[in-house]
Structures are given as C-alpha cells and as structure tokens.
Chains A and B, each alone.
Chain A
Amino acid sequence: QVHLVQSGAEVKKPGASVNVSCKASGYTFTDYHMHWVRQAPGQGLEWMGRINPNNGATIYAQKFQGRVTMTRDTSISTAYMELSRLRSDDTAVFYCARDPVAAKDGMDVWGQGTTVTVSS
C-alpha cells in the first residue's frame, strides 16, 4: 500500500525555521514529484512548490521563494520542506502529496499533515 507519513507537530517561535519530513512507502520514490501544500486554520489550500526526486529540481510558488527549501533523500525515500523566518501567519497544517513525473494524473496520495504553530 502507498503511504506518505509526515513528521509530528511543531511549535516554533517567530523568526525560527521548521523542517517537515515526508516518508514515502509502497511505490518507487523517484517516479513521482513531491508537492507541499499549506492550509492555515479555517482557510483553503495553498500550493507551496514541488521537488523532482530524480534530480532534486525544485519549483517554488512566488509567495514562498526565498523562505522555502525542498530537498529529498532518495536512499530513505523521504522528502523535506524547510520554511524559514517563520511568522505567526505561517501557523498552518502542511501536507505533502505525490504526483506522477510522467503523467498528469494529479496529486493522488497525501500525507496526514503536520501542524506547525508559530507563537512567541
């Protein structure tokens, strides 16, 4: 079975960084892009960017450029999302989701979400 399992909840102070991991299992890690999506409390879904696990190439939404870094470790089938210079309005649930590199079949499997709370 295909799973994406994310790291646990985090509490951070303003100005700090957070690193969220997403461990994939049940499929070939390099066959799928990994996307990251943010959802603030009571708000909609916001696409942050994606990484191609084959070569590490990244695309970031303009809103997050300069603050977000997406990486991967293919040896353990894990993707990471680091968000720096955290602000209170970064308090949100962060999801990872896969989508096929070679097809446009969409984000068909999602992680369970990681809650990040930014508070002084």
Chain B
Amino acid sequence: SHELTQPPSVSVSPGQTARITCSGDLLSKQYSYWFQQKPGQAPVLVTYKDSERPSGIPERFSGSSSGTTVTLTISGVQAEDEADYYCQSADSSSTYWVFGGGTKLTVL
C-alpha cells in the first residue's frame, strides 16, 4: 500500500534525543525524505535519501533506515526544533509520491 505511518506526537526535554519513526512498505524499496514545518511556514527539507543532510541543516538532524521503517533523530533537541515533521517517499516506480501524516514534536 502507498501509506506512511507516523506517530501523531513526540515529546522530549531540551538537550535530549528525539526519535520520530515512519513506517510503510514503500520504504524498503525507495528513499525517504524528512521535512520540518513550523507554524505558518513552508516545509524545509532536513534529510534526503534516507540519511543525507542538505547544506545548512544542523548536524543534530540525522536520518536512518531499516527495512520498512525510517527514523529521524534529533540529538540535543533545542526549543527551536519544536515543529511538525513529515516523512515522504514514493512508490516502487517513483511515479507517485506520498507523505506521512506528520508528527508534532513538542519540546517540554
């Protein structure tokens, strides 16, 4: 199926490590991408091709993949990291793209 499943919310204290998961059959065959979206702003790409990081994205953001689950890890979470995070991938032919439902990261 062309679905990606994320937990609705994750909470973490400042300085701790946040892990946001995304699961779906697509992920065993296609790359994953993670986007950060703050209120009223356009999404920002924070990782691509499972584990690559675009220039300008802090090193505390990292991505990993294992089978049908991918994980966005934010090490040493800061207050400014509070946002919605979306995973994204594509079907096996890279024709149709799909987003996960999104995860709200709360920094306590």
Pick the contact of A110: B33, B43, B48, B54 (CB < 8 A): B43
Interface of A is mostly: loop
The reply on B10 being an interface residue by CB < 8 A is no
Q: How far is it, in angstroms, between the C-alpha of A24 and the C-alpha of B35 when the chains are bound?
A: 21
Pick the contact of A35: B52, B97, B102 (CB < 8 A): B97
Size category of the B interface is 20 to 34
The smallest C-beta distance from B99 to any residue of chain A, in angstroms, reads 4
Q: Which residues on A sit within 8 Å (CB–CB) of B100?
A: 44
* Contact, CB under 8 Å: B43 / A47: no
What are 21 residue pairs bridging A and B, where the CB atoms are less than 8 Å apart in the complex? A37-B99, A44-B86, A44-B100, A44-B101, A45-B35, A45-B88, A45-B99, A47-B96, A47-B98, A47-B99, A59-B95, A59-B96, A61-B96, A61-B97, A95-B42, A106-B48, A108-B48, A108-B54, A110-B44, A111-B42, A112-B42
> Which residues of A come within 8 Å of B, CB atoms?
35, 37, 44-47, 50, 59, 61-62, 95, 97, 104-108, 110-113
